[in-house]
Amino acid sequence: MLGPVILAASRSDRMRRLVSAAPVTKSVVDRFIPGETVDEVVPVIEDLTGKGLDVTMDVVGEDITTREQAEAARDAYLELVDRLGDLGLGARTEMSVKLSMFGQALPGGRELALANVRPVVEAAAAIGTTVTLDAEDHTTLDSMFAIHDELRKDFPQTGCVIQAYLYRTEEDARRLAAAGSRVRLVKGAYKEPAAVAYQRKHEIDKAYVRVLKILMEGVGYPMIGSHDPRLISIAQELAHRAARKPDEYEFQMLYGIRSDEHLRLAAEGHRMRVYTAYGTDWYGYFMRRLAEKPANLRFFARSMITK
């Protein structure tokens, strides 16, 4: 019951100001967002990759309101690419982007977001890595897929995300699987109405399995974005049935969540990528992590009381 309330709060400016200013919030946020600057996060990347994990890096931020902010987002990612280039790990260190941060919701948003994200995708390709377009709320997806199609003409490795909770996703998965895309499948983290999305956990889980089958049987590269132990073993079984080799799919999890499982899957020979977010505008990302597991909220509240 708490999840939807927290998701609604994630869109509230008043809550954003309150939570961001709370004196103890930062220490709780660190569990999910291990740095505010690229300098702070490079040692984290070195630590994760040193343990045999791959990463996808996200500069947090979304829902910007000016073209200058969209350009600043582009520049923050270009700075990140430079640093990833210095590490020399190629596709082991990729990036995830939210197109809303690149101007997607501003006037002329599709062209603007494409113009801002393209140099990042180009720079990524130049250091042997790639970019995945995150999925945001359902109103943004047609534009995200159009930008994905456009980028893939020059950079076919560009990935995208699909969300099992949306009714439209099976159809999207069929198209993407046939096109040979890199696709991350997640359950979905936004507050969506019943008109477009399953609301119950068991319905979402069933949809996840149906979509995963489509991806595994297709000719693309499935990226299983989940911490759910049941779905992870189903994914292993489906990969086996589809005769996929370990380098023909990968698991992905979020930094700070089930970290032992990251290492266990990597030790079993699976490719495991850790989605690692950093930056100062962490509010929306942080609130979605609280909404996914309301026990996190109790941890957060307790830390405020005991300080």
Annotated catalytic residue, options 54, 134, 172, 281:
134
Q: Does 63 bind ligand FAD (CB under 6 A)?
A: no
Please, which residue, 51 or 258, has the CB nearer to ligand FAD? 258
- The residue range among 66-74, 116-124, 188-196, 238-246 that interacts with ligand FAD, by the rule CB under 6 A, is 188-196
In angstroms, rounded to a whole number, what is the distance separating the alpha carbons of residues 296 and 25?
Answer: 12
> Shortest gap between Cβ of 271 and ligand FAD (angstroms)?
13
Only segment of 42-50, 222-230, 279-287, 299-307 that touches ligand FAD (CB under 6 A): 222-230
Asked if 161 touches ligand FAD (CB under 6 A), the answer is yes
163, 169, 181, 276: which one binds ligand FAD (CB under 6 A): 163
Three-class DSSP category at 269 = coil
Residues in the chain: 307
The closest alpha carbon to 134, from 214, 60, 227, 212, belongs to: 60
Min dist. Cβ of residue 155 to ligand FAD (A): 19
Q: Which two tokens stand for residue 231?
A: 């779905």
Contact 130, 182 (CB under 8 A): yes
Long-range contacts of 244-247 (CB under 8 A, 24+ apart): 244/216, 246/270, 246/271, 247/271
List, in sequence order, the alpha helices (H) in 10-128: 13-21, 25-29, 38-50, 67-87, 109-126
| Region of 62-70, 145-153, 237-245, 252-260 interacting with ligand FAD (CB under 6 A) | 252-260
Active-site annotation holds for 134:
yes
Q: Residue numbers of the site for ligand FAD (CB under 6 A)?
A: 134-135, 161, 163, 184, 186-190, 225-228, 252-254, 257-258, 275, 289, 292-293, 296
Please identify every residue annotated as catalytic: 134, 184
